[in-house]
């Protein structure tokens, strides 16, 4: 099947041929005129000299005589060429439209891919955050499991007699798995109403600077005495602890294996009960001033 380009070439070639023949036909005359004008009418070779021109004259006359038909023929050729060119152009336009749609689809697909990659990147970032937090948490848990923990426990006391005031001797113990460093403390013992009133103010004592190292499962005793003697008739009620008791409170400070400062606040009371073996000291933790880090 001839393409639009082929039809166009045919049309232009035909038009060129027609134009050339028309020009030649305008410049020619009858056969006799040719021989006459060339001065060769008596020459027997007049015909030989004029054969090519004679052919063009005949073709020109034929074209002139059938001018309408020739024009119609080339008009048809031109029309066919134009239609073929239009069809080809239309196909190019359709191809361009299809290519445009493909380009739009490609752009949309690229956008979807970019969005998908963005989602993947977001998920990766979130996973990295979670992983980092888990690592930090794991390290923190490992440290918490390996650090020193100090605990203050009841270890007895003594009541007022022979000119000595009430006193309490709690014990401090490292119940962790690593040493506690720079261990210092202060403690105060006093006789206070029981239960301890909500508005009671726990005053701060003078810190005893030990700077000690307390290894795991190692401990030592703390102690504090009431700074005054009470009348003898008040000793028995205080020992029984019904309305007043001897209370000790204080604070222990230290550093764990990571160098993090820690503290333990404590507060408990002491009272005595009569047994067959004599007075027995018991303890009770106070509901306030007991906390630790």
* pLDDT tens digits, one per residue of 31-49: 444 554 444 445 454 544 4
pLDDT for 70: 62
pLDDT for 115: 82
> In the numeric block, which tokens belong to residue 120?
């993947």
Asked if 224 and 116 touch (Cβ cutoff 8 Å), the reply is: no
Q: Which of 56, 67, 257, 279 is nearest to 176 (CA)?
A: 257
Helices marked H in the chain — which ranges? Answer: 4-26, 31-37, 46-65, 67-146, 232-240
**CA gap 152, 268 in Å, rounded:** 10
Handedness of CA 23, 28, 29, 31 (dihedral sign): negative
Cα diameter, the chain: 183
> In the numeric block, which tokens belong to residue 61?
């006359």
pLDDT for 192: 97
How far the first Cα of the chain sits from its last, in Å, is 95
Asked if 87 and 4 touch (Cβ cutoff 8 Å), the reply is: yes
pTM: 0.56
pLDDT for 38: 45
Q: Is 24 exposed, middle or buried (0-12, 13-18, 19+ CB in 10 A)?
A: middle
**CA distance readout (Å), 94 to 7, 88, 100, 107:** 21, 10, 10, 20
Which residues in the chain land under pLDDT 70? 1-8, 10-71, 73-74, 76-78, 81, 84-88, 90, 93, 138-140, 143
pLDDT for 134: 78
User: What's the order of all strands across the beta sheet hosting 167-168?
Assistant: 157-158, 167-168, 224-225
């Amino acid at each position: 099947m001839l393409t639009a380009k082929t039809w166009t070439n045919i049309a232009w070639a035909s038009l060129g041929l027609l134009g050339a023949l028309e020009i030649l036909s305008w410049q020619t005359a009858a056969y006799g005129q040719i021989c006459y004008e060339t001065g060769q009418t008596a020459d027997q070779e007049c015909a030989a000299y004029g054969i090519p021109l004679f052919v063009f004259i005949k073709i020109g006359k034929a074209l002139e005589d059938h001018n309408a038909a020739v024009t119609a023929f080339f008009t048809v050729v031109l029309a066919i060429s134009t239609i073929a060119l239009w069809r080809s152009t239309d196909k190019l336009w359709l191809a361009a439209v299809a290519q445009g749609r493909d380009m739009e689809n490609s752009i949309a697909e690229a956008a979807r891919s970019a969005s998908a990659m963005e989602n993947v990147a977001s998920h990766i970032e979130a996973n990295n955050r979670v992983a980092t937090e888990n690592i930090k948490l794991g390290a923190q848990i490992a440290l918490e499991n390996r650090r020193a923990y100090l605990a203050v426990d009841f270890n007895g006391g003594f009541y007022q007699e022979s000119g000595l005031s009430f006193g309490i001797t709690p014990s401090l113990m490292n119940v962790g798995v690593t040493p506690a460093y720079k261990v210092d403390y202060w403690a105060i013992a006093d006789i206070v109403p029981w239960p301890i009133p909500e508005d009671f103010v726990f005053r701060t004592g003078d810190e005893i600077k030990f700077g000690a190292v307390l290894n795991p499962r190692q401990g030592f005793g703390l102690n504090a005495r009431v700074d005054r003697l009470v009348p003898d008739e008040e000793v028995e009620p205080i020992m029984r602890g019904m309305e007043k008791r001897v209370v000790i409170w204080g604070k222990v400070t230290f550093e764990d294996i990571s160098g993090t400062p820690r503290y333990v606040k404590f507060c408990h009371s002491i009272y005595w009960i009569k047994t067959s073996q004599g007075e027995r000291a018991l303890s009770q933790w106070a509901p306030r001033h007991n906390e630790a880090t």
